[in-house]
Amino acid sequence: MTKIALITGASRGLGAALAVALAPTHHIIAVARTVGALEDLDDRVKAAGGQATLAPMDAGDPAAMAHLCRSTYDRWGHVDLWAHTAIHAAPLAPTGHIDAKDWAKSVALNATATATLIPMLEPLLNAAPAGRAVFFDDPRAGQPFFGAYGASKAAQIALARSWAAETRRTGPRIDIVTPPPMPTATRARFFPGEDRAALTPCADAATRLMAELSL
Kindly report, residue by residue over 23-80, the tens digit of the pLDDT: 999 999 999 999 999 999 999 999 999 999 999 999 999 999 999 999 999 999 999 9
- Percent of the chain whose pLDDT exceeds 90: 97
pLDDT of residue 1: 84
Please state the pTM of the whole predicted model: 0.96
pLDDT of residue 29: 98
Q: What is Dmax (Cα atoms) for the chain?
A: 52
Say if residue 13's pLDDT is above 90.
Answer: yes
| DSSP-assigned states of every residue in 105-149 | HHIIIIIIHHHHHHHHHHHHHHTSTT-EEEEE----TTSTTBHHH
pLDDT 10s digits, 112-134 = 999 999 999 999 999 999 999 99
CATH number of 4-213: 3.40.50.720
pLDDT 10s digits, 87-121 = 999 999 999 999 999 999 999 999 999 999 999 99
pLDDT of residue 215: 86
Say if residue 15's pLDDT is above 90.
Answer: yes
Domain locations along the chain:
4-213
